[in-house]
Amino acid sequence: MADNIIEIKDLYRYFGKVKALDGVSLNVKRGSVVVVIGPSGSGKSTMLRCINHLEVPTSGEVWIDGVCLESKHEKLDNIRADIGMVFQLFNLFPHLTALENITMAQKAVRKRSEAEAREIALQKLERVGILEKADVYPDNLSGGQQQRVAIARALAMDPKIMLFDEPTSALDPEMIKEVLDVMLDLAEEGMTMVVVTHEMSFARAAADEIIFMDEGKIVEQTTPDGLFNNPQHERTKLFLSQILD
């Protein structure tokens, strides 16, 4: 049990008649990096969002570090605070500066003092390489800078797990690398990460496992080597040929 920090058991999520998740089971080992790929609408985001219960599954269970999210006794807010999430569209708080974006939840959730939250925020900003933007509002940051602030904001909560939902797909090509570099660093340091992305360079460099999803199911679960050199399923091959041209 202690080995798997995330256990997803037979997860279903329906939106009306749409089966966004159609029986998904997955274990994620502590410290490992799992990359999730698959065509649009295959349920990648839904699965990711079930991991911190931004989306509540129709049935099935999610266990985080030995705690079942579906059991009524568990305080979801506390569990969510331990799981960082980075969104495709950054979702920074536009009324706050970069620094304030990072200190707010530290103060409101972690009960840290202003001074402590600030120190940690500056530390995280330095780590993602934009310390000089501390007092800038999100509207005045480039996409790549915004996404790095978003990562810093998540890291400031000292998460056990980081979830990324297509973190670079809204970015101009020249900014993708600066975000991927931060993510690679994180992976190297041993952060548990579940990353929905089609950046195969990242998958190759960092992934311990790659999951291919289609129509709400996990079609193939393999290593980067296995995926690129020896894909098992027709749908995987077709999808790879589409994104690797």
Partner 1 sequence: MGDLYHSQKQFDPPEEIVDESQIKTWRSHPWWLYLLIVILIATAVGIYTQENLQEAFMFIIRGIGVTVIIAIVSYLIAILLGLLTGLGRISRNVFVNNIATFYVEFLRGIPMRVLIFFIALVGVPVVVDWMNALGIPIENKDIPMEARAVIALSVTYGAFLAEIFRAGIQSIGRGQMEAARSLGMSFGKAMRYVILPQAVRNVLPALGNDFVAMVKDSSLVSLLAVGDITYMAKVYSGSTFRFREAYTILSLSYLTMTVVLSRIMNRIEKRMRTDGR
Ligand X SMILES: Nc1ncnc2c1ncn2[C@@H]1O[C@H](COP(=O)(O)OP(=O)(O)O)[C@@H](O)[C@H]1O
Of residues 118, 178, 117, 103, the one with CA closest to residue 145 = 178
Residue 42 binds ligand X (CB under 6 A): yes
Residue 16 vs 173, nearer CB to partner 1: 16
CA–CA distance, 244 with 240 (Å, rounded to integer) = 6
Report the C-alpha gap between 205 and 188 in whole angstroms.
10
Contact between 89 and partner 1 by CB under 8 A: the answer reads yes
Candidate residues 28, 92, 99, 149; the one interacting with partner 1 per rule CB under 8 A: 92
Determine, following the binding rule CB under 8 A, whether residue 108 of this chain makes contact with partner 1.
Answer: yes
- Chosen residue from 25, 78, 113, 169 binding partner 1 by CB under 8 A: 78
Pick 50 or 219: Cβ nearer partner 1: 50
Cα gap 152→203, rounded to integer Å: 21
Closest approach of Cβ 176 to Mg ion, in Å?
A: 17
* Sheet arrangement for strand 67-68: 18-29, 4-15, 59-64, 67-68
In the bound state with ligand X, the residue whose beta carbon lies nearer, of 43 and 138, is 43
User: How many residues bind ligand X, per CB under 6 A?
Assistant: 11
Alpha-carbon distance of 196 to 164, in angstroms, equals 6
Told to check if 15 binds ligand X by CB under 6 A, we report yes
Residues paired with 85 in a beta bridge: 163
Nearest alpha-carbon partner for 213 in 26, 7, 15, 6:
26
Phi, psi angle pair for 185, to nearest 5°: -55, -45
Please, which residue, 45 or 106, has the CB nearer to ligand X?
A: 45
Residue 56 touches which member of Mg ion, partner 1, ligand X, none, C-beta under 5-8 Å by kind = none
Report in angstroms how near the CB of residue 104 gets to partner 1 at its nearest: 6
Residues lying near ligand X in the complex (CB under 6 A): 15, 18, 20, 38, 40-46
